[in-house]
């Protein structure tokens, strides 16, 4: 088994990343996001392509944009009674994971 050359340096880097942790950075885990998305599917559809116009499609949206939207709901910059309640229990990691999952689904596209 090949060991990484400088494990101590690696640990320092991980620690630094955790301490400095950029909240604006998404980089979530899509598989974990899928597991956390069950409650979202009720309105947004399983893959983020909501079946009714009452709720926006989010499948295929930019990962950072989804993360930002969740942050904005949580901090009250964006107001919606349903979403405000949904994000209450979400951590930054949850939001990153959800954003990673929905961004990888087919759906929205850049229209010129």
Partner 1 sequence: MQARHLLLGAAMLAAGVPALAVEGDAAAAKAKLSMCIGCHGIEGYRTSYPAVYPVPKLGGQHPQYIVRALEAYKAGERSHPTMQGIAAGLSAQDMADLAAYYGAAQ
Where along the sequence are the contacts to partner 1 (CB under 8 A)?
A: 24, 50, 52-57, 60-62, 64-65, 67-68, 77-79, 107-112
DSSP string, 2-55: PPPS-HHHHHHHHHHHHHH--TT-----HHHHHHHTHHHHHHH-TTS--SSTTS
Q: How far is the CB of 110 from partner 1 (least distance, A)?
A: 5
Name the residue nearer to partner 1 (CB basis): 30 or 48.
48
Q: How far is the CB of 29 from partner 1 (least distance, A)?
A: 20
């Amino acid at each position: 088994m090949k060991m990484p050359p400088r494990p101590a340096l690696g640990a320092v880097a991980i620690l630094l990343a955790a301490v400095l942790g950029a909240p604006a950075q998404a980089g979530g885990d899509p598989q974990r996001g899928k597991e956390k998305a069950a409650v979202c599917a009720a309105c947004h559809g399983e893959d983020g392509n909501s079946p009714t116009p009452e709720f926006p499609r989010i499948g295929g949206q930019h990962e950072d944009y989804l993360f930002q939207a969740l942050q904005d709901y949580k901090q009250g910059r964006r107001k919606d009674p349903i979403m405000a309640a949904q994000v209450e229990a979400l951590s930054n990691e949850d939001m990153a994971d959800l954003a990673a999952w929905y961004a990888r689904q087919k759906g929205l596209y850049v229209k010129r």
